[in-house]
Amino acid sequence: MADEATPESPPLAILHEESHFMLLDKPAGLFTQAAPGIESVQTRLSEQIKRRDQHSGVPFVGLPHRLDRGTSGVILIALNQRALSRFGEQFHSRKIGKYYLAAVVGQFPTDPTNEPATKHYEWSDYVRKVTDRPLAEICDAAAEGAKLAQLTAEPLASASGVTLLLIKLHTGRMHQIRIQAASRGMRILGDLAYGGPEFFDIQDEVEAEAIDESGDGDLASMALHALRLEIRHPQTAKQMAFTASPPAIWDNLPRELRVAMAECVDRSRRENNIAWDKK
């Protein structure tokens, strides 16, 4: 069937698996969920589990959250309805820690030592979905469909006009990081939908205005990576955290950014199972 993983599709990388849930390292360019006939994490993982476990039916693959098609990194999967409900509550009550790396074109204001004027920037906006288009936009608080979007951005390094950001996402709005960064003149590499430049010239051949036919507004690969996810075990409530390294395309970033990226990934791995904002 067209919406099943093909024999050529590589298996999805499993970071952690238990009977009730698993965490994957999602590749860029793959939808989390899509219409019939379009390959996605959901369809590929279902087929992967079915083959691996010789499952006679259709494995349960629950999605308590999504990553955009062009975003890589840690994604949580529920393997039964109870786990899906419990994780859904954690996301709804904002008990999940969500951290991203983003490479953007632009620099933050600096002080006389050429260091960022502050180490952390709090971004707070109202956003809404654009009518009849798979895009989001900044809007007034009173606008119809407006939702509060909040995140913390920490610049880690800058070189050659590109800045590496560590982002903690406080809310989970459509294209939130992408639109909040773009509205401040810091467009993500590869995010053509919001005016970003191509990601080192290996982006799919599309026009800058092109929108994917799936309706997600995403292209194949962006410099946006879900680095770390902090959750509570659905049965024991134990604090757990999981880290995924950015994909190989990130190795094309300037050296200063690669060094900062490696340090951030190493720190996250060392401190897995520790909530970063509760140390």
- For the chain, where are the alpha helices, taking DSSP H only? 41-53, 81-92, 176-182, 255-270
Q: Tell me the per-residue pLDDT of 164-211, one tens digit each, with 9 for 90 and over.
A: 999 999 999 999 999 999 999 999 999 999 998 888 643 333 333 333
Distances (CA, A) of 21 to 82, 128, 129, 144, 231: 10, 31, 30, 37, 11
**Domain containing residue 20: CATH number:** 3.30.2350.10
Instruction: Let me know if residue 273 belongs to a domain.
Output: no
Mean of pLDDT over the chain: 87
Instruction: Let me know if residue 275 belongs to a domain.
Output: no
Instruction: Let me know if residue 43 belongs to a domain.
Output: yes
pLDDT surpassing 50 at residue 70: yes
Instruction: Let me know if residue 266 belongs to a domain.
Output: no
pLDDT surpassing 50 at residue 115: yes
Measured over the CA atoms of residue 196, residue 197, residue 203 and residue 204, the dihedral's sign is positive
The pTM of the full predicted model, rounded to 2 decimals, is 0.88
Give residues with Cβ within 8 angstroms of 78, minimum separation 6: 20, 21, 60, 61, 62, 63, 64, 84, 87, 234
Please tell me the total count of domains within the chain: 1
Instruction: Let me know if residue 271 belongs to a domain.
Output: no
Instruction: Let me know if residue 26 belongs to a domain.
Output: yes
Instruction: Let me know if residue 269 belongs to a domain.
Output: no
Q: Supply the pLDDT for residue 209.
A: 37
Three-class SS string for 219-252? CCCCCEEEEEEEEECCCCCCEEEEECCCCHHHHH
Instruction: Let me know if residue 88 belongs to a domain.
Output: yes
Q: Tell me the per-residue pLDDT of 72-95, one tens digit each, with 9 for 90 and over.
A: 999 999 999 999 999 999 999 999
Q: Can you point out the beta strands (E) in 59-131?
A: 72-78, 97-105, 121-129
Among 17-21, 41-45, 51-55, 60-64, name the one with the lowest average pLDDT. Answer: 51-55
Which residue segment(s) compose the domain that 31 sits in? 13-247
User: Terminal CA-to-CA distance of the chain, rounded, Å?
Assistant: 48
Coil/strand/helix, residue 141: coil
